[in-house]
Amino acid sequence: MVLFVGWVKENRMVFGAVTGGILLMLVGGGLWIVDREPVEVEIIAGDKDSEPKDQQEIWVDVGGAVVRPGVYQLSAGARVKDALTEAGGLSEEADRSKLARYVNLAARLEDGTKLYFASKDEEIVSLESGIVNINTAGVSELDKLWGVGPGRAGEIVAGRPYGSVEELMTRKIIPSNVYGRIKDQIGVN
């Protein structure tokens, strides 16, 4: 067993142990057990001084072409632009034209959201053949899905980014009967 202690921003300690390929981590009072090789993760807390005491916190994973990729703690109601700011903004490798086309910086974030910002040399492709990526597909491609139509397709585009396909239903962008019919035909990157 190897025991390690790491210092994390805002005086939070991360204690962990690795034994037999299992990583045990105690972070902020919670125990995480990861049954695979340990991955280096930096946990970065948001600005707590500006956060109202009665508001809950959310965690957002920001990756790709940003200055400081990582997992960030933000206040509930945070927007995509807030997570991007916490990550230090776009890096030099970022594809700003893709950001302008595919990312709604004003979209509210939910706990557990994954944001990925593409670099200039990355191609945005569907998850697998026949799957429509709701974070990158155009209105005409989304319009071809059963029950979507041009109006709902526009709402899907305006609500980007999505961390999961279920957000189409939980955010009331499409009704449950439409979601039930198309859930196997859509995905997110």
Are 75 and 108 part of one and the same domain?
Answer: yes
Q: Using 50, 70 and 90 to split pLDDT, how confident is the model at 138?
A: confident
Please check whether residue 125 lies inside any domain of the structure: no
Q: Give how many domains the chain has, as a whole number.
A: 3
Please check whether residue 122 lies inside any domain of the structure: no
For residues 139 and 153, the answer to whether their CB atoms sit within 8 Å is yes
Please check whether residue 127 lies inside any domain of the structure: no
Identify the CATH number of the domain in which residue 158 sits. 1.10.150.320
**Higher-confidence position of 63 and 14:** 63
Are 34 and 6 part of one and the same domain?
Answer: yes
User: Is the pTM here over 0.85, yes or no?
Assistant: no
Q: Has residue 143 got a pLDDT over 50?
A: yes
Range(s) of the domain holding residue 137: 132-187
